[in-house]
Amino acid sequence: MARIRIALAQSNPTVGALDANLESVLATIDRAEAEHCDVVVFPELTVTGYPPEDLLLKPGFVAANLRALEAIAAHTGACAAVVGFVDADRDLYNAAAVCAGGRIQGLVRKRLLPNYGVFDEARYFVAGDVRAPGSLFRIAGVNVGVSICEDVWSPDGPLAVQAAGGAEVHLNLNGSPFERGKQSARERMLGTRASDANCALVYVNQVGGQDELVFDGGSLVIDPRGEVVARCPRFVEHLGVVDVQVEPVYRKRLIDPRGRPTRDPLPVVTVSEVSRAAVLPLRVEASDPLEPDAELFEALVVGTRDYVRKNGFSDVVIGLSGGIDSALVAAVAVEALGPAHVHGVSMPSRYSSEGSRTDAQHLAINLGIDLRTVSIEPAFQAYLDMLRGGDAPLPGLTEENLQSRCRGTTLMALSNAYGWMVLTTGNKSEMAVGYFTLYGDSVGGFAVIKDVLKTRVYDLCRFVNARAGRSLIPDAIVDKPPSAELRHDQRDDQSLPPYEVLDPVLEGYVDADRTAAELIESGHDPEVVHRVARLVDMNEYKRRQCPPGVRVTGKAFGKDRRLPITNGFSEAAGPPR
């Protein structure tokens, strides 16, 4: 029985940072060589970072990416390296290079280009020839197939073709973003593909944050029976080294009750014939899956950490209102950056309760962050005097919004003064219905929980406390009715349906793209549905002006959901009165 030692390079490249990405790849190849690996597999488009987007319109960027690949190939020795890069011919291709012995041994081009959700690959790349099966690579005496991300999702994609043509192990390079529940779906799909093909499958995914996207790693090795035999930890960089046992192809086909799916043998590029692995196989590592609250919290932490640091910031500032949203954002920021790099600001007005002020103080003490108090009352009064020219109140929500804008201006002033990035604290429920002030509480550099519904905010705060073994987020914050405190005795449920009613409607209308009629038919209150749908639709212009934030669902505001601002489709308005 043959054996091949494979290193899974679950890495965190930065889009556009070609020199830094190159340095990381070379160091990882050296580590794999030291572990006597036969091949090290990197994620999709490791050289450029994923997704490079309109950087691909710059010929100089593409050329520099090709020079980096040449440097990687020159650095390889006995351990082969499979690296994702941008290939340029008459068109651009999302590609992988198999490098060994100081040169490129062969190339593979991605065949299935996703163009849905957050993916825009058809904008930039041409698909590899789906009719040409390509070559296998003989590494350590094992016939190895290679594919890129989406290619493995198709049941009749390259994995099936290569396995029928003689592949014994298949390497799949990925840039697969996180969303809740996706890892279990991945494992089910990959297990099915491996067992259908009777071929061991190595899935390598990148990790880290890139703008709104978070990549969660979770790289895997699956045996020909579809069972997970190795699982890398999630949300962290990791080099997993695994010995894969390879049974003869003919045996797998003889015992397959579905028959013997074969085709003419594929051409083979010989890289190496003998495994470099030690006589004794390595112990297989298999990290335990994360619980839903844990994986969601880690996604927020990684997305925040990488957005702040990759954009050249070290510190962040947060307006601490004493409410649950700012408390969760502060807890995420402390986990991501450390308490010394997180700064809280209490900005009371004439409507701020004493409890909110003390709750913010207790939170700051528990998290170990500094807290300064800056009253917005002088600025608020100055605005009132300037605008109304007398004692008459300003109409509508003007005075409430003015307070929020005083706070936003204060936070941005501190950002200018000290170089801190402002983290906004609005959640997805508020973002959806426009329950925020444009140029006020929406001001900032990054919106940490913009894709987290309010009810899930409560779940995550309870998770933070349970993990800490104490009320890191004070119970008073978790238990109090939510309020913006912009007028006397204000509560959110005076302006919105209760969140336990609102959030299921938003999940249907926003995340699942269901119509108002469908939601009503499924049992939701008609008046609530029409009201919520109208609020969601009319506030698209506000959301479009908000900062980016961590994407944790399959339909986040931003890359996923792209509705026109000027929109005459009015099914949400409800029946005429």
Domain residue extents for the chain: 2-270, 292-492+547-552
CATH superfamily entry for domain 2-270: Carbon-nitrogen hydrolase (3.60.110.10)
Identify the pLDDT of residue 114: 86
pLDDT in tens, 368-423: 999 999 999 999 989 988 887 766 777 778 888 898 999 999 999 999 999 999 99
Is 540 a catalytic site residue? no
* Residue 284 reports pLDDT greater than 60: no
pLDDT of the residue at 249:
63
Which pLDDT belongs to residue 430? 94
Determine the pLDDT at residue 276. 81
Catalytic residue among 33, 44, 168, 212: 44
Return d(Cα 476, Cα 471) in angstroms, integer: 10
149 is catalytic: yes
- Among candidate residues 33, 79, 99, 110, the one labeled active-site is 110
Would 2-270 and 292-492+547-552 be classified into the same CATH topology?
no
- pLDDT on residue 219: 95
What mean pLDDT comes out for the span 276-290? Answer: 65
C-alpha–C-alpha distance, residues 243 and 303, integer Å: 32
Region of residue 187 (left: phi > 0; alpha: psi -120 to 50; beta: else) = alpha
pLDDT of 77-105, one tens digit each?
Answer: 999 999 999 999 989 999 999 999 999 99
Chain segment 437-479, per-residue pLDDT in tens: 999 999 999 999 999 999 999 999 999 999 999 999 999 999 8
**Rounded distance, CA 4 to CA 105, Å?**
18
CA distances from 231 to 191, 192, 238, 285, 320 (A): 13, 16, 11, 6, 39
Whether 369 and 339 have beta carbons less than 8 Å apart is answered as: yes
What CATH number labels 292-492+547-552? 3.40.50.620
* 327 vs 363: CA distance, rounded Å: 7
**Is 425:448 a contact under the CB 8 Å cutoff?**
yes
- Asked if pLDDT for residue 577 goes beyond 60, the answer is no
User: Tens of pLDDT along 311-326?
Assistant: 999 999 999 988 999 9
Q: Is the pLDDT of residue 575 over 50?
A: no
β-bridge pairing 213-216 and 207-210:
antiparallel
CB neighbour class for 489 (10 Å; exposed up to 12, middle 13-18, buried from 19):
exposed
pLDDT tens across 516-541, in order? 999 999 999 999 999 999 999 999 99
- Give the lowest-confidence range in 421-435, 482-496, 543-557: 482-496
Alpha carbon dihedral 378, 383, 384, 386, in 10-degree steps, equals 120
Residue 574 has a pLDDT of: 46
Residue 335 bears catalytic tag: no
For residues 295 and 552, what is the distance between their CA atoms, to the nearest angstrom? 10
In this prediction, residue 576 carries a pLDDT of 35
pLDDT in tens, 215-242: 999 999 999 989 999 999 999 999 999 9
Q: Which of 149, 199, 232, 406 is catalytic?
A: 149
Question: pTM for the full model?
Answer: 0.90
